[in-house]
A and B are shown apart, each in its own frame.
Chain A
Amino acid sequence: MPRILVEQLTKYYGDKLVLDGIDLSISAHEVVALIGASGSGKSTLLRCINRLVDFDAGRILLDGIPIDDESFGANGLYRRIGIVFQSFNLFPHLSVLQNITLAPRKVHGVPRREANEAARALLAMFGMADCVAQYPEQLSGGQQQRVAIIRSLATNPDVLLLDEVTGALDPELIGEVLKIIRDLKDKGMTMVIVTHEMGFARDVSDRVCFLEGGRILEESPPRELFSRPRHPRTQKFLERIIAAGRL
């Protein structure tokens, strides 16, 4: 059974069709990259998967259960699927430790001491133990994004959604964030990655989906898609990327 199954997913923003019958299947421990131009629907697809936005037709299953099923309760789905945003969205008035422990403590009722220990262990695992008492504005963009990733891991999710997580970073800070994602892949995390870093998509993903106009036009292993794209649209997109020096 696929970990995540998307069937005929359709979504309108007003009159505009942004997702046009998306079918996508993601197995456990698989890393899938979604690429495509801005406005192709890749971020919306990501946000549908954890119900940040509602969709109009089709369905999404997590381990065979529709994501709007009552058995998830009010916040069960958010515990199983984490998301990291382009703009980090750390809470600026909370310290790194408080940012990470907020959901475990307030949503899932983990006692403070236990939540703090788990957060410290996570920070140490990713080499960020020094930042524990600092506030987001004291950190670099790369550090903030790494904290945001750790925050999304604090509830032990089965799936992690990454929405252009390096999009707001200076080039020299991108590497440290990508390294965490590679580590997570090695640990077997199931991930869906929306990215403009084609080199990274090629290296880290098991499968790449090229989206345009709300549809998946091409879906293949990265080596194949990047060296022998079948669809003329994919070819054109990759040519532009190469011309811009991004691959």
Chain B
Amino acid sequence: MNRGASSPDDDSTARRAGSGEPVRQKPPARRVERNWTPTLISIFSVVVVFGAAAWFIGRAEQWPRIRRQFFNWDAMVASFPKVLDGFWLNLKVWGICIVAIGVWALVLTLFRVLKGPWLAPLRVFAIVYVDFFRGMPALLLIVLFGFGIPALRLPGLPSSALFWGIVAITLSYAAYATEVYRSGIDAVHDGQRAAAKSLGLTQLQAMRYAILPQAFRNVLPALLNLAIALQKDVAILSILGIRDAVREAEIYKSQTFNYSSYMVAAILFLVTTIPLARLVDYLTRRDRRRRLQGGMI
């Protein structure tokens, strides 16, 4: 972790130690004075710009009304327990969707990439599937499945709107995830396939033991980005009447005509997505470093 934050000072010592020069007993204690001016300017300019913005907004004639409507502390506290309850549902649905999408997209990817004339129907299915579900608005699918299928009252099928909403999200997101997986598989060097084949591995064994583990590592940041987008799209299920965070906030609003409950929901979403976004940044950085160091393709 510390490596990213190392000062130029550490770096030059490391390089000196790595080179073949005769080892000096002790490197001369060269203390480089850190120049604080740029840092101070940065802090100063940030404080000035955002301070000025806050001052202007706070002075605006409409501000007290906005604050009362959106940032009313009492309303936020009052609505918090219900909205949090709803948010737990968001998280649960999110988790279920991640697993379902991961598995279904993997199946579709295998349909798409396995070679052999007899597997052509599977390939065609995967191609048509991805084209279709990537081209459909998630909202449309959710309404279609969440309202439409329960209305059919088909015997033997679940009639819960939540269930069909999850199915709709899974079908839609799996199309994207399939393309992500596939790009990761394409990025694995051809030599790996040749090596797997020459060792006698079947196509599926080569996938499982040689190609997919590398492909997965290639696309982990992209998959996490998809998971972040998914976390927000789970909120669309509220239109089916499912009492998630957004729905609970709406219920509070309709009772009090105060929008602060929406802000509570907004904050809850941000609290979960921002750390995830930082994790993606970190993984991407680590990946690039590994690639720059690594001798292997």
Chain A partners chain B = yes
Q: Is A25 an interface residue (CB 8 A)?
A: no
B201 with A106: CB separation less than 8 A: yes
A116 within 8 A of partner (CB): no
Q: Is B92 an interface residue (CB 8 A)?
A: no
B155 interface residue per 8 A CB criterion: no
A65 within 8 Å of B by Cβ?
Answer: no
B210 pairs with A91, CB closer than 8 A: yes
Do B296 and A151 touch (CB < 8 A)? no
A93-B213, A106-B205, A137-B295 are contacts. A87–B191 as well, Cβ < 8 Å? yes
Query: Given A107-B205, A136-B296 in contact, is the A91-B200 Cβ separation under 8 Å?
Result: no
Q: Is B197 among interface residues, defined by CB-CB distance under 8 A?
A: yes
| A137 lies within 8 A of B296 (CB) | yes
Contact A90 B296 (CB under 8 A): yes
Known contacts A85-B194, A102-B209, A93 near B200 by CB under 8 Å:
no
Using a Cβ cutoff of 8 Å, how many contacts connect chains A and B? 69
Contact between A103 and B194, CB atoms less than 8 A apart:
no
- State which residues 169-225 of B face A: CB under 8 Å: 189, 191-192, 194-195, 197-202, 205, 209-210, 213-214, 217
Could you tell me the distance in whole angstroms from the C-beta of B48 to the nearest C-beta in chain A? 47
B297 within 8 A of A: yes
A242 in the interface, Cβ–Cβ < 8 Å? no
Alpha-carbon gap, A90 to B295, bound state (A): 12
- The yes or no answer to A155 lying at the interface (CB within 8 A) is yes
Which residues of B sit under 8 angstroms from A82, Cβ to Cβ?
198
One of B198, B217, B293, B295 near A93 (C-beta < 8 A)? B217
B200, A79: Cβ atoms closer than 8 Å:
yes
Residue B294 at the A interface, CB < 8 A?
A: yes
Q: Which residues of B contact A88 (CB under 8 A)?
A: 296
Bound-state Cα–Cα, A107 to B204, Å: 12
The complex places the Cα of A151 from the Cα of B199 at a distance, in Å, of 9
Q: What chain B residues lie within 8 Å of A94 (beta carbons)? A: 209
Interchain nearest-CB distance for A92 vs B (Å) = 5
A144→B195 CA distance, assembly (Å):
14
Chain B residue total in the interface (Cβ 8 A) = 22
Cα distance A233–B83 in the bound complex, in angstroms: 83
Partner of B209, one of A50, A92, A106, A141: A106
* Chain A residues, Cβ within 8 Å of B294: 92, 137
| Of A83, A85, A91, A108, most B-chain CB atoms within 10 Å | A91
- Decide if B202 touches A78 in the complex (CB within 8 Å): no
Closest to B210 in A: A91
Whole-angstrom distance between the Cβ of A131 and the nearest chain B Cβ: 15
B296–A78 CB distance below 8 A: no
CB of B201 within 8 A of CB of A85, answer no
* A52 and B194 contacting across the interface, CB-CB below 8 Å: yes
Whether B194 lies near A102 (C-beta < 8 A) is: no
Distance (whole angstroms) from the CB of B112 to the closest CB of chain A: 22
Name the A residues within 8 Å of B202 (CB-CB): 74-75
Cα–Cα distance between A35 and B195 once the two chains are bound (Å): 23
Find the residue from B192, B194, B199, B293 having the highest chain A CB count within 10 A. B199
Question: Looking across the interface, which residue of chain A has its beta carbon closest to that of B297?
Answer: A87
> Footprint of B on A, CB under 8 Å?
50, 52, 74-75, 78-79, 82-83, 85, 87-94, 102-103, 106-108, 136-137, 141, 144, 151-152, 155
Q: A50-B198, A90-B296 are in contact. List 5 more A-B contacts (CB 8 A).
A: A89-B189, A103-B200, A106-B201, A107-B199, A107-B201
A-B contacts, 17 of them at CB < 8 A, read: A50-B198, A78-B198, A78-B200, A79-B200, A87-B189, A87-B297, A89-B189, A91-B192, A91-B195, A92-B294, A93-B213, A102-B210, A107-B201, A137-B296, A144-B296, A155-B199, A155-B200
